[in-house]
């Protein structure tokens, strides 16, 4: 199916009050990253992470758009089934220089959100600036900085790959103050200089 898991450490769901399992998603049409963490009190624990790739097979060619969206949808449905998250955090997509690329990315994001809502999971959305600010403390941090901070915050033996790190960072952002957890509402705030205002 094209799902690759990294650091396959599976932690058993903790029955202690105040614990929540969060699935972070970094949507992409070629590679969708996912990361699952658990928050117990103020402690964050790594559960799993990996990628869902829509290109591959013997030819290595990418599938047509509908088939790629199906791979994302069914891949994330499998992740949800396997790790049973209670909340989902996904990165928002903004218009960039190429409108066609933005449209395709938006469709991949829609497939990812559909996988969550089909299981009645609440979905929180965060901008890249919000995620980087929450994890690194700088809304314009480089990918390598995000990878290193994810490694440190989750006490991992090595830095996760970029797509997995971005997904884990999104989950960490949600755990640090997302909707329903830290009670820090991000809706209605603006971002100025990499900071919420």
How many beta carbons lie within 10 A of that of residue 46, not counting itself? 21
pLDDT score of 165: 95
Distance, CA of 183 to CA of 123 (rounded, Å): 15
Specify whether the CB–CB gap between 93 and 166 falls below 8 A: no
Question: Residues 26, 38, 125, 166: which is the catalytic one?
Answer: 26
Question: What pLDDT, in 10s, does the model give residues 62-71?
Answer: 678 999 999 9
pLDDT score of 4: 52
Question: Residues 42, 64, 78, 91: which is the catalytic one?
Answer: 91
pLDDT band at 174 (very low <50, low <70, confident <90, very high): very high
Identify whether 78 is a catalytic site residue: no
* Better-predicted residue by pLDDT, 30 or 183: 30
Task: Give the residue among 147, 179, 173 at the shortest CA–CA distance from 161.
Answer: 147
Identify whether 120 is a catalytic site residue: no
Question: What pLDDT, in 10s, does the model give residues 119-169?
Answer: 999 999 999 889 998 999 887 888 899 999 999 999 999 999 999 999 999
Of all helices (H) and strands (E), which one includes residue 90? strand 87-91
Of all helices (H) and strands (E), which one includes residue 20? strand 19-26
Over 60: is that where the pLDDT of 29 sits?
yes
How many beta carbons lie within 10 A of that of residue 140, not counting itself? 12
In the CATH hierarchy, which fold is given to the domain comprising 3-196? Nucleotidyltransferase; domain 5 (3.30.420)
pLDDT score of 197: 44
Identify whether 163 is a catalytic site residue: yes
Question: Residues 38, 125, 163, 166: which is the catalytic one?
Answer: 163
* Better-predicted residue by pLDDT, 92 or 87: 87
pLDDT score of 104: 87
């Amino acid at each position: 199916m094209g799902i690759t898991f990294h650091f396959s450490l599976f932690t058993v769901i903790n029955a202690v009050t105040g614990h929540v399992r969060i699935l972070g998603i970094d949507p992409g049409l070629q590679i969708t990253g996912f990361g699952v963490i658990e928050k117990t009190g103020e402690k964050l624990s790594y559960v799993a992470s990996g990628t869902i790739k829509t290109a591959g097979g013997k030819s290595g060619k990418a599938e047509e758009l509908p088939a790629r969206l199906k791979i994302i949808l069914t891949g994330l449905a499998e992740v949800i089934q396997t790790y049973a998250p209670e909340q989902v955090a996904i990165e928002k997509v903004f218009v960039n220089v190429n409108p066609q690329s933005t449209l395709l990315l938006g469709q991949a994001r829609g497939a990812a959100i559909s996988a969550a809502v089909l299981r009645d999971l609440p979905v929180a959305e965060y901008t890249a600036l919000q995620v980087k600010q929450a994890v690194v403390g700088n809304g314009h941090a480089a990918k390598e900085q995000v990878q290193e901070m994810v490694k440190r915050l989750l006490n991992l033996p090595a830095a996760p790959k970029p797509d997995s790190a971005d997904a884990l960072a999104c989950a960490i952002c949600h755990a640090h103050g997302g909707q329903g957890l830290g009670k820090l509402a991000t809706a209605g705030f603006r971002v100025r200089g990499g900071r919420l205002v």
